[in-house]
Structure 1
Amino acid sequence: MRILFLDLDSLSPDHMGCYGYERNTTPNIDKIAAEGVRFTNYYTSDAPCAPSRTALMSGKFGIINGLVGHGGTAGDMKLEGTERELMGKLSRGGALPTYLGLAADLNTVLISPFAQRHSTFHFYAGFNEILNTGRYGNESAEHVTPVALDWIDRNGKKEDWFLYINYWDPHTPYRAPSEFGNPFENEPLPAWLTEEVLERHKQMVGSHSVNELNIDYRNKTYDNQTSPVFPRHPGDIQDMDGMRTMIDGYDCGIRYMDEHLGRLFASLEEQGVMDDLIIIISADHGENMGQLGIYGEHATADQGTCHIPMIIRWPGMKQGIVDDGLHYHLDLLPTLADMLGTPVVPDWCGASYAPVLKEGTDCGREYLVVSQCAHVVQRSVRFRNWIYIRSYHDGFHLFDEEMLFNLDEDPKEQFNVASEHRNVCMEAVYYLNQWHDEAMRRNSDAVDPLWTVMKEGGPFHARGYLPGYAKRLEETGRGHLVPELVRRHPGEFPQEPNTVMAQFQAKIGAKMAGK
């Protein structure tokens, strides 16, 4: 048995040909999709990067494994505590590569810099071979493909391997080499992205809105600065030419990566192993390209960020079918166990969708709960044609606390209809509470790491940014937005002493001193 897992960072189904995108961004992926099963309602449970991959590899929701953010306490998995044995759970089959090595006797191989990028070294647990491409996730495909081709040349014909490869080209900032050109320069933009939409988005606020596409980590603010190193990535979007730069930059990254995937597939064909090779194509998260007014980032618990592709080509199983059921990415582990005829680890949170692959039988969930605690703090419920988003920290976007979108009528999440459908919101909150209660019953320390993030100062990519951003808003004629930001986030600003309380404390101090 041979399994190739392609983890294509920030790849949104909305920008893939096999998912209905008008541009020819993914011809090589599309061929694989035609030979397997394409899942249309597949979601990461926890976004963005580190939470998503930790949930996938551990088989556990972030609320249980503890890693839900990009910094602070919630940037690490929870310790196993006093019950930890000589070998922890990650080494005893609890992690995806460990499991495949122990249960299926596969040689497990990783080509990725991800663990180093986020200091998530649990990501390595169980891999027999680890090839770090060495650029902290700033790789372009030309840095990854030679490493992958070398491994395939040396090992492709061997039996029983699992090869996990990360590509990064759809990840911001968009970096396809200039010599690649722009195969989309004469093609229209997605029809929904009109001047009217852009004008509405100009009124929005926060990181990766059209006025501030850059996060300035050094000066702790959001701005519109650009880098000559990344000419495909604009600093802002003020007109339709800027919109084209953004959309074309993303699409070029996808197409450039897809061409490199074609080279991998050709090599595997030459090795004579393509016919019986299991191919799994997915992503850690999607990429907002206008959803919620955000561009070029994976910063929310919404459809744009949490909806991901999943394509599985499993020789001998169903071919050329589409599954519309609701599934988490962490459902992959029990699915593999089911397909391989190996036991399921009790700690896993997932549910097998092997019936889809074997018989084409629907086995989707009633609802999903997805989370984001790195750029904002949100939990969302995806059910029927709805996505309900609850914001605990808006990441300075001034989102409504409750948002509800009808994805059939408004797939790009432009119009919040929560006030018009209170009964639907109440249903969503019921599902959210049901999920939370079950997760906390399984939680070893009964601590919800979402609230750990809040207690420690909010999401990592917003901590300390508001003073500098408020100054920029004042300087760019948007100072009217600052009072509401201050009202929502008073703890982000240095506080003046409470004069009355200070005087009261001074009197107490004087009395204690006998004065």
Structure 2
Amino acid sequence: MRVLFLDLDSTTPSHLGCYGYHRNTSPNIDRIANEGIRFTNYYTSDAPCLPSRTALMTGKLGIHSGVVGHGGTAADVRHEGVDRQFKDTLATQSFPALFRSLGMKTTLISPFAERHSAWTFYAGFNEMHNTGKSGMESGEEVTPVVLNWLEQNGHKDNWMLYVNYWDPHTPYRAPEDFGNPFNNESLPSWLTEEVLENHKQKVGPHSVNEINMFNNQTKPEYPRYPGEIRDMDEMRKMIDGYDCGVRHMDNQIGMIFELLEKQGVMEEVIIIISADHGENMGELGIYGEHGTADQGTCNIPMIIRWPGYQKGQVDNELHYHLDLLPTIAEMVDKDPAPNWDGKSFANTIKNGKKNGREFLVVSQCAHVCQRSVRFDDWLYVRTYHDGYHLFDKEMLFNLIEDPHEQHNIASERPDVCKDAVYYLNEWHDEMMATSSSDIDPMRTVMIEGGPYHAKGALKNYTKWLIESGRGYAVPELEKRHPKEFV
């Protein structure tokens, strides 16, 4: 068995051709979607990067692993304590360890462990290749490492290769000589001048007045990444920059497929394509960031081509990304680990049967503190720390009518909000009852001063708001976050 797992950082489904995007951003990814199953309602349980990949590697929700943020106590996997054996459980119960148990060689090509000091990310791999720039790699720096490995190993049997690309992650770094294949193509139809004018009134990191998180500064080495969006030309620069990142990455993936074809093994390789999180490109009025527990950030692509099984299918059921672990275990006739939180959807791959969840709870504690409930056509967002966005405590979106989350209808549909809160409370009770700790790690983030990417930034940010003509927001920020003005 040969398995290629492509982890495409910050890749949002809504900007891939196989998910209906009008631009030709992803022909190579689209090919695999046509040859396998495309999952439309697939979500990271915990966003962004570190919580998401920790959940995938451990098979545990953040509330169980302890990792829900990017700093402080909640950025480290909980110790197993007095019950720890000679090796911890990740040695045998992690995502790559599952393949190791089948006698397969497991290889990682990624700088991620160094980027976040997430050394548990290495657990279960035979071989690790750090591409050296802590996540600032462009695809042409990653692909040669992948091709070199495949030249040596691709023709052999029994391997799992995990490859991490970063091109869609800010700041958009597609090389200058790549050009802009989308220069003459229209923007997404929903991004109108009216929408932009509404977004100009918003406050909060990565809104149109401060693409650079808390200001509008730019860096000459990243010309595709604007500091602000004042007009539709700059809107185009923003969207084109992201789409060029996706297309440049897709071209690199095409080189991998070309080599596998040359080796005569392409049709035998199980190919899994996913991401750690998506990217808000206007959702909630946020651009170029993955800092909320919403559709833009937490909905991720999942494409599985498993030779001999379902082909050209679409699954619309609700799934967590960590459902992949028990799914693969069932596909290869292995028992799932007892501490995994996932639910297998192997029957979907084998015979197309629906096997989703009734609802999902997704979390974000690195930029804001939010938990959201995804069910039916609804996304309900509960905010505990707004990350200086001035979000309402409750937000509700009908994702069929409003897929880009522009209209909060919580006040209009209290009945739906009550259903969502019921789901959230039931989930929280179950998670805490099955946790090794009596502490909710989101609470830890709050006690330790708030989400990492917001902590300590408010004083300088309020100065910027006044300078940029939005001083009207400062009193409300002071009211919500009085400790940060002491």
Deviation at 1:343, TM superposition (A): 1.0
For residues 451 and 442 of structure 1, the distance between their equivalents in structure 2, rounded to whole angstroms, comes to 17
Q: Which residue of 2 aligns with 1:326?
A: 318
Identify the match of residue 428 of structure 1 among 420, 431, 436.
Answer: 420
- Aligned partners of 2:294, 2:170: CA distance in 1, in Å? 18
Matched, 1:232 2:224: yes
Question: Aligned residue for 1:199?
Answer: 197
Deviations 1:409-451 (A, max 9, x none): 0000000000011010000011011111111111111110000
Q: Residue 40 of structure 2: SS of its match in structure 1?
A: strand
Counterparts of residues 54-453 of structure 1 (less than 5 Å): 54-91=54-91, 93-102=92-101, 104-215=102-213, 222-453=214-445
Aligned to 1:37: 37
1: CA distance, partners of 2:158 / 2:288: 38
Letter in structure 1 aligned against 2:73:
T
Separation in 1, partners of 2:304, 2:75: 30
2:329 & 2:465 partners in 1: Cα distance? 52
Amino acid at match of 2:56: L
CA distance in 1, matches of 2:313, 2:436: 40
Aligned to 2:47: 47
**CA–CA separation in structure 1 for the residues paired with 2:66 and 2:188:** 38
Code of the residue aligned with 1:469 in structure 2: it is Y
Distance 1:492 1:266 in 2: 54
Q: Aligned partners of 1:110, 1:32: CA distance in 2, in Å? A: 21
**1:157 alignment partner, SS class:** coil
Structure 2: 5+ residue runs without aligned partners? none
Letter in 2 for 1:303: Q
Q: TM-score, normalised by structure 2?
A: 1.00
Shift of 1:88: 0.6
Cross-structure match for 2:453? 461
Q: Structure 2: which amino acid aligns with 1:408?
A: I
**SS of structure 2 residue aligned to 1:311:** strand
Deviations 1:161-213 (A, max 9, x none): 00000000000110000100000000010000000000000000011000001
2:479 maps to a residue whose letter is R
Please give the secondary structure, in 2, of the residue aligned with 1:207: coil
Partner deviation per Cα, 1:77-110 (whole Å, 9 max, x = no partner):
111111111111111x2211112102x1111000
Q: After the TM superposition, which parts of structure 1 deviate over 4 Å for at least 4 consecutive aligned residues?
A: none
Give 1:512's aligned residue: none
1:10 is matched with which residue?
Answer: 10
Residue identity matched to 1:236: E
Name the structure 2 match of 1:26.
26
* C-alpha distance in 2 between matches for 1:189 and 1:477: 28
CA deviation after TM superposition for structure 1 residue 368, in Å? 0.3
Unaligned runs of 5+ in 1: 216-221, 495-515
Identity value in percent: 65
Tell me, in whole angstroms, the C-alpha distance in 1 between the residues paired with 2:470 and 2:191. Answer: 24
- 2:165 is matched by which residue type in structure 1? Y
Shift of 1:283: 0.1
Partners of 2:98 and 2:184 in 1: CA distance: 48
Partner of 2:472 in structure 1? 480
Residue 6 of structure 1 aligns to a residue whose secondary structure is: strand
SS across alignment from 1:183: coil
What is the Cα-based RMSD across aligned positions, in Å?
Answer: 0.5
Secondary structure of 1:418's counterpart equals: coil
Structure 1 residue identity aligned to 2:148: D
* Distance in structure 2 (CA, Å) of the matches to 1:445 and 1:410: 38
What is the DSSP-based 3-state SS (H/G/I as helix, E as strand, rest coil) of the residue aligned with 2:32?
helix
Indicate the larger mover: 333-342 or 81-90.
81-90
Larger Rg: 1
Q: What is the identity, as a one-letter code, of the residue corresponding to 1:403? A: M
Q: Distance in 1 between matches of 2:471 and 2:190?
A: 30
Q: TM-score when scaled to structure 1?
A: 0.94
Q: What is the distance in 2 between the residues matched to 1:310 and 1:448?
A: 29
Q: Secondary structure at the match of 1:296?
A: strand
In 1, Cα distance between the equivalents of 2:237 and 2:115? 27
Supply the distance in 1 between the matched residues of 2:185 and 2:479 (Cα, whole angstroms). Answer: 44
